[in-house]
Amino acid sequence: MLLQSGGSSDPFASAVRTTRMPMVITDPKRDDNPIVFCNDAFTHLTGYARDEILGRNCRFLQGPATRDEDVARVRHAIGRRESVQVDLLNHRKDGSTFWNALLISPVFDGDELTYFFASQLDVSDRKRAEEHRFLLNRELDHRVKNTLATVQTVVLQTLRDASVPRTVADAVSGRIRALARSHDLLTVEAWASADLADVVEGALEPLRPRVGARIGVEGPRLRIKPRIATMLSLAVHELGSNAERYGSLSNPTGTVRVGWAIGEGRLRFEWRESGGPRVAEPAKRGYGTRIVERVLAAEFDGEAELRFPPDGLVFRLDAPADGIDEEATAWTAP
């Protein structure tokens, strides 16, 4: 049979037979695409003897713990005669399970599909480590969240006892809440990166019930790093609460437009207010303004500018787009 009878002088057949990587070949011209070759590594991995394997479809490795959607992906690719790579849970002969990093490729002779070739790698250790890291992160996220809630209570209580003006207490509490929200967002994304639109929407959320219809947000999907997400969330929170207190959202009709675009390797982010009371340059810049201008510019490694033309405050950020996401720049949601 195939490879077994290939003669010991064929280096490729010999390599496939003796490699430590489990491999099988199936014959799609036969009924139910049965296995026509498996190497020793495959018998070791699965615990089945060769005569229990040959002639069967590979699905005999699946069991109650195998996820339907993983199998569906394989079925779909095979139906289209395409390569596919899937991690799926398989069962050994003794019933124990292992994570199988399965890679299947069709083999063509001209236009004719002759075989499917697959390699199987036991990646259970990696999967276990990933699961462990996931659980640890979740636990840590819980604790940070609880800590933030405690900080909020302690700070508010302290401010109240010290008879600090209500506006200061509100500002501090709003900032802590903005931090907690960006933390929530990053937790969902496993602290890899966050979507810029989600960060902006999250920071505006407390305003939405009151003035939501007057805030327009528009921009492409874009991943930003966790630290930038946190600072941006704080900045948008500051801009929003400022707009509601003094700016375009302080009257019944003013509006805010938040937008961003990527072009020529740069990200341009803008917050533009209009229709509010006449604006005057503030006499002194507070903490909120500092976050918006300086910290954000430094985090994005770009330039940030807060301007106060009479018809409405404008905040602009101009930063190199490559500083935004380590892995990639913009992506479009499917």
For residue 57, give both structure tokens: 């479809």
**CA 119 from chain center: how many Å?**
28
Nearest residue (CB) to ligand FMN, 120 versus 242: 120
C-alpha Rg value of the chain to the nearest Å: 29
Give yes or no for residue 45 binding ligand FMN (CB under 6 A).
Answer: no
> Residue 50 has which token pair?
């060769």
Stretch that binds ligand FMN, among 69-77, 168-176, 255-263, 278-286 (CB under 6 A): 69-77
Distance set, CA 11 to CA 14, 25, 35, 259 (Å): 5, 17, 22, 61
Question: Which of 36, 53, 118, 121: binder of ligand FMN (CB under 6 A)?
Answer: 118
Listed residue (63, 114, 119) closest to 86, CA to CA: 119
Alpha carbon distance 331, 321 (integer Å): 12
Identify which range of 7-15, 59-67, 217-225, 272-280 contacts ligand FMN by CB under 6 A: 59-67
Least CB distance from residue 180 to ligand FMN, whole Å? 43
Does 230 participate in binding ligand FMN (rule CB under 6 A)?
Answer: no
Nearer Cβ to ligand FMN, position 87 or 318? 87
324 contributes a contact to ligand FMN by CB under 6 A: no
Q: Which of 18, 19, 57, 146 binds ligand FMN (CB under 6 A)?
A: 57
Does position 58 interact with ligand FMN (CB under 6 A)? The reply is: yes
Q: Using the 8-state DSSP alphabet, how is residue 278 labeled? A: P
Per CB under 6 A, 16 contacts ligand FMN: no
Interface with ligand FMN (CB under 6 A), residue from 16, 41, 102, 159:
102
Residue 154: how many CB atoms within 10 A of its CB?
A: 10
Q: Can you read off the two tokens belonging to residue 36?
A: 């026509």
Binding to ligand FMN, residues 119-138 (CB under 6 A): 120
Structure tokens of 223?
A: 């991943």
Residue with tokens 């937790």: 187
Q: Tell me how far, at minimum, the Cβ of 129 lies from ligand FMN, in Å.
A: 22
CB of 88 to ligand FMN, least distance (A): 5
The whole-angstrom separation of Cα 321 and Cα 330 is: 9
Minimal CA–CA distance to 236: which of 182, 311, 307, 280? 182
CB of 90 to ligand FMN, least distance (A): 5
36 backbone dihedrals φ, ψ, rounded to 5°: -115, -10
Where do contacts with ligand FMN occur on this chain (CB under 6 A)? Answer: 24, 26, 33, 57-59, 61-62, 71, 74-75, 78, 88, 90, 100, 102, 104, 116, 118, 120
